[in-house]
């Protein structure tokens, strides 16, 4: 069983989940195409990304946790 995803989960942990990229794209998370995100994957948290880009954090976390 995988760890529950929350606002403190790093982007690198999320990318380890099969199907996560599709969900992130649906929520228009810009980090998928951002070259700088590649350098910050381990330190960028889901909460930080949602706050920076005005993304529905609760909905995104709920959908990502369905992958577990």
- Does 1 score more than 80 pLDDT? no
pTM here is: 0.85
Task: Determine, yes or no, domain membership for 1.
Answer: no
Task: Determine, yes or no, domain membership for 42.
Answer: yes
Task: Determine, yes or no, domain membership for 22.
Answer: yes
pLDDT at 2: 61
- Given a contact cutoff of 8 angstroms between Cβ atoms, the answer to whether 60 and 27 are in contact is yes
The band of 3, judged by pLDDT with boundaries at 50, 70 and 90, is confident
Q: Please give the residue range of the domain that contains residue 35.
A: 11-65
The band of 65, judged by pLDDT with boundaries at 50, 70 and 90, is very high
Give 7-45 pLDDT, tens digit per residue.
Answer: 999 988 998 888 998 999 999 988 777 777 777 778 889
Task: Determine, yes or no, domain membership for 34.
Answer: yes
Task: Determine, yes or no, domain membership for 3.
Answer: no
- Given a contact cutoff of 8 angstroms between Cβ atoms, the answer to whether 52 and 40 are in contact is no
Task: Determine, yes or no, domain membership for 56.
Answer: yes
Task: Determine, yes or no, domain membership for 50.
Answer: yes
Q: How far is CA 53 from CA 1, 30, 32, 48, in A?
A: 30, 8, 13, 9
Number of domains in the chain: 1
Angle made by CA atoms 15, 37, 44, in degrees to the nearest 5: 70
Q: What's the token pair of residue 18? A: 């099969």
């Amino acid at each position: 069983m995988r760890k529950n995803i929350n606002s403190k989960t790093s982007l690198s942990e999320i990318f380890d989940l099969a199907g996560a990229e599709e969900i992130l794209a649906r929520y228009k998370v810009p980090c998928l195409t951002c070259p700088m995100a590649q350098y910050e994957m381990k330190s960028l948290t889901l909460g930080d990304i949602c706050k920076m880009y005005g993304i529905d954090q609760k909905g995104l976390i709920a959908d990502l946790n369905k992958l577990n």
